[in-house]
Structure 1
Amino acid sequence: MTITDDEDLSLHPIQTSFSTISQLDTRPTSQKEVWGWLSYAWAAEPFTVGAVGIYIPILLEQLARENGVLLSDLQTPCRAGPKNTGSVQHTDHSDDKCVVSCLGMYVDTTSFALYTFSFSVLIQAVVVISMSGAADRGSFRKSLLLFFSALGSASTMMFLFVSPSTYYFAALLAIVGNVAFGAVAVCGNAFLPVLVRNHPEVSDNFDMRADSSLLVPSYVPDLPEASFNTNKPLIDSLPDAFESFPSTSIDPERQLNGKQSLKAVQVSNRLSGMGVAAGYLSAFILQTAGIVFIAATGSTMLSLKVVLSFVGVWWGVFSIPTALWMRPRPGPKLRFNEAQSDDNIFRAFRNYVVYAWRTLFWTAKEARKLKDVALYLFGWFILSDCATTINTTSILFAKTELHMQPAALASIGILSMVFGTLGAITFSHLSAFAESIPNSGASSPDPNMLIVSIVVLITVIPVYGIIGFTTKSIGLHHPWEMYVLACVYGFALGGMASVCRSCFSILIPPGKESTFFSLYAVTDKGSSVLGPAITGFITDRTHNIRYTFFFLFFFLLIPIPIFYILDVDRGKQDAERFSEEADAS
């Protein structure tokens, strides 16, 4: 029977501990649902590309400068004249450095922005882990996606009300917005494997939905829901809380032969590339409008705040199609024993949070059996941290050392997005082409080798900054060089976002999407605690942000051999064994 988009989307779960991808909702992924998933990227991506990548670092540094003093005497203000109406520019005392009081210490105004982002990522990691249990169990995945979208939208709109005297409030808004975006990204990423497995192009290849008996057995044993017992030891209680497939159930993923697996990979690559391209296109449109507005209003602090506020409006408005068109695709509800009843909403919230952390610890312990997942996450931890830190560091470098205005910096962001879209499409097609040539030996590049090439490309940026120590003709001494490096960075970042996310979705065990993507988020967003903190420390000690390029260069060398020895095929086989062992437990 064909189910249309207009039919009732309510679900009737059966009494099993079935996984997210099994009996609970196996309807084919509709085109409307795909558009709803793309809409979340269209709504949220301008925040990380435009707000976090360009406007918030500029605004935080400028607000700190408005309250800063010269390093030479710690008394002379960095700026003179009106504080809230002048254009955003570098201090007139160009031979001295500007520092600001932050929690009882004087830090470089550039470091203030870096430390803010570092702290925001730490909070983001805690929130993402805590919410993963609720995202895995019940109908919370979509609800969490929409809640954090609303929170991020509201906090970004409130930038309109910050002033130089409330620079701590601006930092708080940046933290809340970044935390919300991280949570939204985790929920959105966790939908990708589910949409792929239920996609008609994949399901039609093994035609399991033609016979409902293959999906829901005529006899279903009365198996207990996953239990939660706080009296058990930490690790011992976790297998009972981890969902598994009953022996009588049919797991569609395990019925895939080589051809079917190939189709699933191709669909995953295509959807992932479309998501990245949609996000960058959305950010491009918003960035273009922002540049026009900022340039027309003289690059004032007010113009920056207005543009940031509109980013929040954009985020909220375009989350509506996600709310209307995406199915919840729920996992099994988490059941508690009598002593831990979830009748009380606060007790239930606590139970889900504790369950999430216990599950994460258990998953991390068990993930050691997945050699390629461990390799991937370690390499991704470093690569993601470097990519994020390079962006923030380069923007602050251009503002403080090259004295570029916000409109010029925003135009750099547009170049990054244009080439990011090209990179996402190019590497997505390269990945799909590689998977379409099975058993072709060296002539068929593996996905991990594509990631290696991306890392090498990103390394060009810190190397070019280091060259500036030896010559004044090149090496980031002129504004035009920023535009060239923006093209290189954007192309590499677009490819990284497309290939890396798709590659990881292949390596994770079926039915553990939210849990393993929470690990992915910890190594992705959580890694960015390290990079900004170290670059901020280096800048505070040297008061020369160029020295951070040495750190970024040597840090980027580490993931190259890691991704080189990664084996995607072996990782897929290990993921299947992982699921079988979880079932046996």
Structure 2
Amino acid sequence: MSTIADLAPVRRRAEQKAWNWYDWANSAFYTTVLTVLFGPLMITVAGRAAGCGDDADDTCKKAVDVLGLHLAAGSLPSYLTSFATILSAFILPIVGALVDRSARKKWHMAWFAFAGSFFAALLFFLNGDHWQLGAVSVVIASVLGGCSLVSYYAIMVDISEEWERDAVSARGWAWGYLGGGLLLVVNLVLVQGHDTFGLGKEMAVRISLLSAAVWWAAFTLIPLTRLRNHPATSVVPETGGLMRRSFGQLWATLKDLRNYPMTLTFLLAYLFYNDGIQTVIYSASIYGSKQLHFGQSVLIAAILLIQFVAFGGALLFARIARTHGAYKCLVWGTVAWMVIVLAAMFLPNKQIVPFLAIGVAIALVMGGTQALSRSFFSLFIPKGREGEYFALYNACERGTSWFGTLLFGLVFQLSGSYRPAIVSLVIFFVLGLIFLLRLDPVRGIKEAGNTAPAVV
């Protein structure tokens, strides 16, 4: 008697490998553009328009006019990021509902990516004192990037079983850190050695911004061509008119969360500890330069070190989760974040080794907690609602870090030192841990109608 082998795991594995490439593709935008190069260039260009001169930095207080508002040139990148975040909070749930009803998730992901990369490419024209096009472009690119991630996260559920999602998510995050890090190395070499290449510094930065857009679009072609479209499942019927289905979607999702108390509990935990993570990432360079008095070369080395060590951190946490479960990894990862920010307070000035050691610790825990948070949350989503709920998750992921930066800034203003400012961030990890400890993961997975892995 002949038997037919079950090829489903082989097909899933092939799609998972293709899926990884979108993390590789879009991370270039978030590392090269949003994290490192866009902010300083925008401040310089807007500073010229405001009258701060060619050497404008984040201390430039002169204002530019934005839709009738007078905003300091030195703060403009932060305002643009905040506006993109607020806008995303209203748009992403609408996109999520659309994704849930679609059998063409990979095309939604790709078209949002291509549109986002187009607007990211327009940042090449951020020069002279013409900052307006760059301001509009970075907001639209950021929102479109978030829209593409809603589809991308939802696809993970289509191509993986519950028990394998920790490893799938971790490999995606790892590829993202690696891809974003590799392009960042190339771009930093170009920017730091611009004279060697016969370029002005601003032109080198503009070329780097363009390279991130091209990278994003080009590598999106791999998952687009290799992923399969999967039919929508357990689709929730549409009710009401266009306004009800569109602008009421966020409110409807939030109300629906009451039916899944463990899902809500995890989202609250994630909101707080992710806020802490994002603020640590944001404040690391400020703390290193202003408090510990390191030069730019050391800070660049630390950024690259974190990027590449986080690659290993994501894979390491996935291996640990295989034996001990994602839940315990997230609990102990949150505790590790508390230890890190407490240790950072006591770092000595101008001592490179302790500073880089903290950087390694940040990278290991960051890679692991971010990767496992995504896969763990997928277990708490009702079937057929992945896009809708991942839209909410994405809004928490990229949209709450202003709480942490606000506290960081207030504590610095009151104390005059960045040491108490950095340690104040421990409150976010404490709050996140409190909600994690209130979580019953098995109950939450069953309430959502999913199958709990052997080890949660």
Mark yes or no: TM-score above 0.5.
yes
Cα deviation for residue 484 of structure 1 reads 3.4
Structure-1 separation of matches of 2:349 and 2:124: 33
Partner of 1:176: 140
Structure-2 separation of matches of 1:574 and 1:432: 23
Partner of 1:142: 106
Cα deviation for residue 164 of structure 1 reads 4.7
Partner of 1:386: 276
Residue 506 and residue 56 in structure 1: after superposition, are their counterparts in 2 closer, same or farther (change >3 A)? same
1:83-136 per-position Cα deviation (integer Å, ceiling 9, x unaligned):
3xxxx8979xxxxx5423154546482x43333222221112222122112111
Partner of 1:567: 440
Structure-1 separation of matches of 2:244 and 2:38: 33
Residue 454 and residue 164 in structure 1: after superposition, are their counterparts in 2 closer, same or farther (change >3 A)? farther
1:160-201 per-position Cα deviation (integer Å, ceiling 9, x unaligned):
21025123433333222221221122211111111114xxxx
Partner of 2:387: 514
- Between 508-517 and 317-326, report the one with greater CA deviation: 508-517
Contact 2:95/2:388 (<8 A) preserved: no
Partner of 1:209: none
> Which amino acid in 2 is paired with 1:450?
C
Partner of 1:152: 116
Cα deviation for residue 292 of structure 1 reads 2.0
Structure-1 separation of matches of 2:50 and 2:338: 33
Cα deviation for residue 2 of structure 1 reads 8.7
- Given the alignment, which residue of 18, 31, 37 partners 2:19? 37
Cα deviation for residue 313 of structure 1 reads 0.6
Contact 1:156/1:173 (<8 A) preserved: yes
Residue 461 and residue 120 in structure 1: after superposition, are their counterparts in 2 closer, same or farther (change >3 A)? farther
> Which amino acid in 2 is paired with 1:47?
F
Structure-2 separation of matches of 1:286 and 1:411: 15
Structure-1 separation of matches of 2:419 and 2:143: 28
Q: What pairs up with 1:62-77 in 2 under 5 angstroms? A: 62-64=44-46, 66=48, 77=52
Alignment of 1:312 onto 2:274: no
Cα deviation for residue 272 of structure 1 reads 1.1
Structure-2 separation of matches of 1:512 and 1:301: 45
- Given the alignment, which residue of 175, 182, 185 partners 1:278? 175
Structure-2 separation of matches of 1:500 and 1:310: 30
Partner of 1:440: none
Partner of 1:287: 184
> Quick check: which has more Rg, 1 or 2?
1
Q: What pairs up with 1:83-482 in 2 under 5 angstroms? A: 83=54, 97-103=59-65, 104-105=69-70, 107=72, 109=74, 111-197=75-161, 264-265=162-163, 267-297=164-194, 300-331=201-232, 351=242, 354-398=244-288, 402=293, 404-405=295-296, 408-435=298-325, 447-464=326-343, 466-467=345-346, 474-475=347-348, 482=355
> Which amino acid in 2 is paired with 1:509?
P
Residue 107 and residue 356 in structure 1: after superposition, are their counterparts in 2 closer, same or farther (change >3 A)? same
Structure-1 separation of matches of 2:353 and 2:277: 21
Q: Which runs of 5+ in 1 are unaligned?
A: 6-25, 70-76, 92-96, 198-263, 341-350, 436-446, 468-473, 579-585
> Which amino acid in 2 is paired with 1:301?
E
Residue 549 and residue 395 in structure 1: after superposition, are their counterparts in 2 closer, same or farther (change >3 A)? same
Cα deviation for residue 376 of structure 1 reads 0.4
Structure-2 separation of matches of 1:147 and 1:323: 10
1:432-451 per-position Cα deviation (integer Å, ceiling 9, x unaligned):
1124xxxxxxxxxxx33321
Cα deviation for residue 381 of structure 1 reads 1.0
Structure-2 separation of matches of 1:355 and 1:4: 40
Cα deviation for residue 509 of structure 1 reads 1.9
- Given the alignment, which residue of 488, 501, 524 partners 2:397? 524
> Which amino acid in 2 is paired with 1:493?
M
Q: Provide the secondary structure at the position in 2 that maps to 1:165.
A: coil
Cα deviation for residue 516 of structure 1 reads 1.6
Partner of 1:74: none
Structure-2 separation of matches of 1:120 and 1:399: 27
> Which amino acid in 1 is paired with 2:37?
Y
Structure-2 separation of matches of 1:466 and 1:276: 29
Contact 1:134/1:141 (<8 A) preserved: no
TM-score when normalising by structure 1: 0.67
Structure-1 separation of matches of 2:50 and 2:339: 34
Contact 1:159/1:173 (<8 A) preserved: yes
Q: Provide the secondary structure at the position in 2 that maps to 1:99.
A: coil
Structure-1 separation of matches of 2:217 and 2:416: 39
Q: Provide the secondary structure at the position in 2 that maps to 1:576.
A: coil
Percent of matched pairs sharing the same residue? 19
Structure-2 separation of matches of 1:545 and 1:100: 25
Contact 2:316/2:368 (<8 A) preserved: yes
Structure-1 separation of matches of 2:83 and 2:252: 26
TM-score when normalising by structure 2: 0.84
Structure-1 separation of matches of 2:267 and 2:424: 21
Contact 1:134/1:140 (<8 A) preserved: no
Structure-1 separation of matches of 2:318 and 2:202: 39
1:1-29 per-position Cα deviation (integer Å, ceiling 9, x unaligned):
99999xxxxxxxxxxxxxxxxxxxx9984
Structure-1 separation of matches of 2:260 and 2:285: 38
Structure-2 separation of matches of 1:546 and 1:89: 26
Structure-2 separation of matches of 1:453 and 1:484: 19
Structure-1 separation of matches of 2:363 and 2:339: 12
Residue 356 and residue 431 in structure 1: after superposition, are their counterparts in 2 closer, same or farther (change >3 A)? farther
Alignment of 1:56 onto 2:38: yes
Residue 360 and residue 124 in structure 1: after superposition, are their counterparts in 2 closer, same or farther (change >3 A)? closer
Cα deviation for residue 511 of structure 1 reads 2.4
Q: Provide the secondary structure at the position in 1 that maps to 2:63.
A: strand
Residue 98 and residue 366 in structure 1: after superposition, are their counterparts in 2 closer, same or farther (change >3 A)? closer
Residue 108 and residue 306 in structure 1: after superposition, are their counterparts in 2 closer, same or farther (change >3 A)? closer
Cα deviation for residue 51 of structure 1 reads 2.3
Contact 2:379/2:450 (<8 A) preserved: no
Residue 158 and residue 536 in structure 1: after superposition, are their counterparts in 2 closer, same or farther (change >3 A)? farther
Q: Provide the secondary structure at the position in 1 that maps to 2:449.
A: helix
Contact 2:86/2:399 (<8 A) preserved: yes
Structure-1 separation of matches of 2:270 and 2:412: 25
Structure in which a larger fraction of residues adopt helix: 2
Structure-2 separation of matches of 1:67 and 1:479: 38
Contact 1:99/1:108 (<8 A) preserved: yes
Contact 2:123/2:210 (<8 A) preserved: yes
